[in-house]
Structure 1
Amino acid sequence: MLPIQNSIFKAYDIRGIVGKTLDVGIARQIGQAFGTAARTKGEKTVIIGRDGRLSGPELATALAAGLRDAGVDVIDLGVVVTPMVYFATHVLGAQSGIMVTGSHNPPDYNGFKMVLAGEAIYGDAIQQLYQAIEDGSVEATISVPSGSYRRHDIKQAYLQRIVSDTKLARPMKIVVDCGNGVAGAFAGELYRALGCEVQELFCEVDGTFPNHHPDPAHPENLQDVIRALQNSDAEIGLAFDGDGDRLGVVTKDGQIIYPDRQLMLFAADVLTRHPGREILYDVKCTRHLAPWITEHGGKPLMWKTGHSLVKAKMRETGAPLGGEMSGHVFFKDRWYGFDDGLYAGVRLLELLSRENDPSAVLNALPQSSSTPELQLKLEEGENFSLIEKLQGEAKFPGADDIIKIDGLRVEYPDGFGLARSSNTTPVIVMRFEAESPSALLRIQAEFKRVILAAKPDAALPFP
């Protein structure tokens, strides 16, 4: 049995490499710790599910055993997308759930996304699970009668809930790419039930991901969708990550509509029903989003990156919509407030089906010259100390605003630069946007100047 390592307990979830930092023994201990935490909150039942990874069955079995050790009843949904676990915590009378998923990580990874008593846990709450295992307090509490176990098929209830609340103005022809992730088990059926003609790419669930990586945040993983749209009469392309909670969108002419621009379309619609309300978005999103939200009668609210953090802020503010640049979109309008790539795709098609030329509508959304996410790789822990140093010392002449809610976002009249510490890997994530290529280079040069002043040997991800 592997020794448990604190390094797998990340900011928003637990994630490790199977056979190296994660095995069935650790999965069982996590089940025991989570089950104990659930009982402390008065919860008697925990819902579990797993994605299509090869290590999923054994880890889910061990997790269930650990939960039952802690005296908790287990409802096992089997192979599902992460949003189905979240959905089940709203409809099955149990508010805690764990999804066994490696999300968009390589095939040898797996992990756990957790909801405890109705809240996505993160930060200290995840560290408390580690502490409970490490100090042996979990073992000490397991003298309770073992919990029960039953299987439950949530698919029809989930599909029915979405289809009953959605109406397309006309049938649409779409391409759906699931990258052999678990969304492939459900996406075709869902969109056909809405009246779409669906061309499926890589919808066979295969934990080795033989075709391309299931991560729509990276353009190389969308090339198959782009080709399929060129070679067919399909109007729009949707792509999903490994566990189905993130959405990628491609137009007929091969343009990638990144999530911050998707959010514009969603915000304009949601604000017709929730005028004056907050629309949440993370620090990585385009600077065009705030004026767009204001123009459509909402209050723009920039927040920290991280799906658990956005969900917590949405609960606090009562915001009807939130989104992240990574592709997590959270609808509290007509839905439950959790991130769901399949559902976001449905809401997108509902809006686009009203248009004769959906791609023209998407391409008309405001945009600037921008970079994808760039990563400055560092030693473990160095990412946090460098950002702290920059927040304290860096000067940016000519900047309109310096936002420090999550790293450093420096706003200029003609663009912005961002440097923030990843909460999951030892990197600083950087992103730049500007009204012209020359402005983009100028802002990058400003960041290069302050980073090299703080760390002269930094291997910057841009010239």
Structure 2
Amino acid sequence: MFPKPKPQLTPNTYAFESEPMVKATGFREYDARWIFGKEINVMGVQALGMGLGTLLKEMGKPQEIVTGHDFRSYSSTIKMALVSGLMAAGCKVHDIGLALTPMAYFAQFELDVPACAMVTASHNENGWTGVKMGADRPRTFGPDEMGRLKEIVLNAAFDLAGGGSYVFVENFPKRYIDDLVKDRAIKRPLKVVAACGNGTAGAFAPEALERLGVEVIPLDTELDHSFPKYNPNPEDMEMLHAIRDAVLEHKADVGFGFDGDGDRCGVIDEKGQEIYADVIGVMLARDLSKLHPDATFVADVKSTGLYQTDPVLKENRAHIDYWKTGHSHIKRRVTELNAVAGFEKSGHFFFNPPVGRGYDDGLVSALAILEMLDRNPDKSMSDLRGELQKTWQTPTMSPHCDDEKKYGVVDKVVKRFEEMHANGEKVAGQPISELVTVNGVRVIAEDGTWGLVRASSNKPELVVVIESPVSEERMREMFKAVDGVLRENPEVGDYNQSI
């Protein structure tokens, strides 16, 4: 009988090497993330594999699964521990080796395998590990599946029938890139910076983009799991500034920044200006709505208000659905509504056919942007951006808040704004016109300036975003007001970045 995981064990002891350790907070809303060695150990990962195999059987799914790993020094070790647990639970495991997360999603279609378990901590700092899972392509696990998986693992309620097997799929990246570029070519001569932050995308992104017919300027594409330059996160200003410098130096038409596991893409225009992902989403929605009138687009609740006010989207009768933040939530919503695309402010984009298969893939996002430029041969990225109404928006800002406390803090913040709204109090000097509480709280002032507070699903942090269609001053006033409500809670710490 496999023992119940412990929440904490001391390293360099017999117990640490002989018992599973799994911290409960690692089971997030739609994937799993732990600090390896502090919150989960190798046997804990093995327990996770046993739990996942048990859950697949409980869900009535075939016990067959794709797995891969990102480029961190410990990821292959973690993957093989996961594989041993999956096999103990009776699963046939298809291992695609070093991979981007969207490669694992693609493998579910290409290999006709129902489930996937991709070992990655995405853009999290070194020391973190995690697993992105799904059993109903193209969707990934949400709160219900993650909650049940947590119960199974922490209670060691495993069904260890055995009989599992293992197969390594050779040269799978070639199949992925061949499919990505099949029947696609960019006719317009374009020069593109491809920045990968020394993460996994560096092994694949330059080749894929070159095969589309564009000139590629590789930036930090050498694999280095210490991430010596900056964190491979397209919301990180250091990464965006590095791309800006390369774009200006090489006179590129566009700069792309891919995150650690390649499912997100950040964008810099030819003038070196970053274009936030939600604004890129509006630009792509405008372009796609011309091809698909009456289309539905999904945007997460952190995203710009331009989706609702843009005249081109209105002219093309586009339907906009604001939904919960999180790649699993948006992915499911795009599938449920048969939307043409879904856009998340963090840079997760989801395209249904003919552009994609419904899952998030940074290279597919880059392809969609290149095709948009191809369809507008006389316009630059800044021209297309300039056609939108100007707004003043903060980057995504994340004050520290412990995993055990962050949801309670958000509940208090929501209640505080609800009380202000009910009592007719003003926020940032104006009446509150609307509160959106589908995911945390988005407080909207009378002039359209808004601020969002929600709990991060990946890290011990809150998430704060502010936007104003009026002025930078109004944006800063709203930030001050929102931060003032946050500071009523002593559990809230310092920001990772701020304005």
**TM-score range normalised by the length of the shorter chain:** over 0.9
Determine which of 314, 326, 329 is the counterpart of 1:294.
Answer: 314
Alpha-carbon offset, residue 344 of structure 1: 0.4
1: CA distance between counterparts of 2:295 and 2:175? Answer: 30
> Are 2:370 and 1:349 equivalent residues in the alignment?
yes
Equivalent in the alignment of 2:392: 369
Alpha-carbon offset, residue 348 of structure 1: 0.5
Contact 2:22 2:41 in 1 (8 A): no
Classify 1:18/1:382 alpha carbon distance in 2 versus 1 (closer, same or farther; 3 Å).
Answer: closer
Equivalent in the alignment of 1:384: 407
Equivalent in the alignment of 1:211: 229
288-297 vs 334-343, greater mean Cα deviation:
288-297
Contact 1:377 1:428 in 2 (8 A): yes
> Are 2:251 and 1:228 equivalent residues in the alignment?
no
Q: Which segments of structure 1 move beyond 6 Å, counting only runs of 4 or more?
A: none
Equivalent in the alignment of 2:360: 339
Which residue identity lines up with residue 8 of structure 1 in the other structure?
A: G
Classify 1:194/1:404 alpha carbon distance in 2 versus 1 (closer, same or farther; 3 Å).
Answer: same
Alpha-carbon offset, residue 428 of structure 1: 2.6
Equivalent in the alignment of 1:447: 482
Classify 1:108/1:459 alpha carbon distance in 2 versus 1 (closer, same or farther; 3 Å).
Answer: closer
> Are 2:444 and 1:411 equivalent residues in the alignment?
yes
Alpha-carbon offset, residue 460 of structure 1: 7.4
> Are 2:149 and 1:129 equivalent residues in the alignment?
yes
SS at match of 1:242: coil
Q: How does 1:31-110 map to 2 (within 5 A)?
A: 31-40=49-58, 41-110=60-129
Which residue identity lines up with residue 422 of structure 1 in the other structure?
A: S
Unaligned 5+ runs, structure 2: 1-16
Contact 2:61 2:114 in 1 (8 A): no
> Are 2:338 and 1:305 equivalent residues in the alignment?
no
Contact 1:43 1:117 in 2 (8 A): no
1: CA distance between counterparts of 2:348 and 2:211? Answer: 23
Q: How does 1:165-244 map to 2 (within 5 A)?
A: 165-244=183-262
Contact 1:230 1:253 in 2 (8 A): yes
Which residue identity lines up with residue 411 of structure 1 in the other structure?
A: I
187-196 vs 36-45, greater mean Cα deviation:
36-45
Alpha-carbon offset, residue 341 of structure 1: 0.5
Give the number of equivalent residue pairs: 460
79-88 vs 261-270, greater mean Cα deviation:
261-270
2: CA distance between counterparts of 1:457 and 1:242? Answer: 29
Determine which of 381, 388, 407 is the counterpart of 1:359.
Answer: 381
Contact 2:95 2:166 in 1 (8 A): no
Which residue identity lines up with residue 128 of structure 1 in the other structure?
A: R
SS at match of 2:464: strand
Which residue identity lines up with residue 58 of structure 1 in the other structure?
A: T
Alpha-carbon offset, residue 324 of structure 1: 0.7
SS at match of 1:76: strand
SS at match of 1:131: helix
SS at match of 2:165: coil
Contact 2:299 2:342 in 1 (8 A): yes
Alpha-carbon offset, residue 164 of structure 1: 1.7
2: CA distance between counterparts of 1:304 and 1:230? Answer: 36
Contact 2:234 2:240 in 1 (8 A): yes
Which residue identity lines up with residue 265 of structure 1 in the other structure?
A: M
Equivalent in the alignment of 2:347: 327
Q: How does 1:242-261 map to 2 (within 5 A)?
A: 242-261=260-279
Which residue identity lines up with residue 211 of structure 1 in the other structure?
A: K
Which residue identity lines up with residue 141 of structure 2 in the other structure?
A: I
Which residue identity lines up with residue 331 of structure 1 in the other structure?
A: F
Equivalent in the alignment of 2:435: 402
1: CA distance between counterparts of 2:166 and 2:309? Answer: 52
2: CA distance between counterparts of 1:229 and 1:390? Answer: 41
2: CA distance between counterparts of 1:381 and 1:18? Answer: 18
Which residue identity lines up with residue 103 of structure 2 in the other structure?
A: M
273-282 vs 439-448, greater mean Cα deviation:
439-448
243-252 vs 352-361, greater mean Cα deviation:
352-361
Which residue identity lines up with residue 240 of structure 1 in the other structure?
A: F
SS at match of 2:474: helix
Q: How does 1:3-14 map to 2 (within 5 A)?
A: 3-14=21-32
Contact 1:255 1:363 in 2 (8 A): no
Contact 1:50 1:101 in 2 (8 A): yes
Contact 2:194 2:205 in 1 (8 A): yes
The alignment-based identity, stated in percent, is 30
2: CA distance between counterparts of 1:266 and 1:89? Answer: 27
Which residue identity lines up with residue 60 of structure 1 in the other structure?
A: K
Alpha-carbon offset, residue 458 of structure 1: 5.6
Alpha-carbon offset, residue 285 of structure 1: 0.8
Which residue identity lines up with residue 430 of structure 1 in the other structure?
A: V
2: CA distance between counterparts of 1:175 and 1:426? Answer: 32
Contact 1:50 1:100 in 2 (8 A): yes
Equivalent in the alignment of 1:26: 44
287-296 vs 206-215, greater mean Cα deviation:
287-296
Alpha-carbon offset, residue 323 of structure 1: 0.9
CA deviations 1:304-336 (Å, max 9, x no partner) are 110001111112211120011101010013111
Contact 2:188 2:377 in 1 (8 A): no
2: CA distance between counterparts of 1:238 and 1:136? Answer: 43
273-282 vs 350-359, greater mean Cα deviation:
350-359
Alpha-carbon offset, residue 351 of structure 1: 1.3
TM-score computed with the length of structure 1 as normaliser: 0.94
Contact 1:278 1:300 in 2 (8 A): yes
Classify 1:266/1:449 alpha carbon distance in 2 versus 1 (closer, same or farther; 3 Å).
Answer: same
Equivalent in the alignment of 2:286: 268
Contact 1:166 1:350 in 2 (8 A): no
1: CA distance between counterparts of 2:161 and 2:491? Answer: 54
Alpha-carbon offset, residue 457 of structure 1: 8.1
1: CA distance between counterparts of 2:163 and 2:485? Answer: 59
Determine which of 301, 309, 314 is the counterpart of 2:334.
Answer: 314
SS at match of 1:383: helix
Which residue identity lines up with residue 224 of structure 2 in the other structure?
A: D
Equivalent in the alignment of 2:14: none
Contact 1:376 1:428 in 2 (8 A): yes
Equivalent in the alignment of 2:11: none
Unaligned 5+ runs, structure 1: none
TM-score computed with the length of structure 2 as normaliser: 0.87
Classify 1:186/1:380 alpha carbon distance in 2 versus 1 (closer, same or farther; 3 Å).
Answer: closer
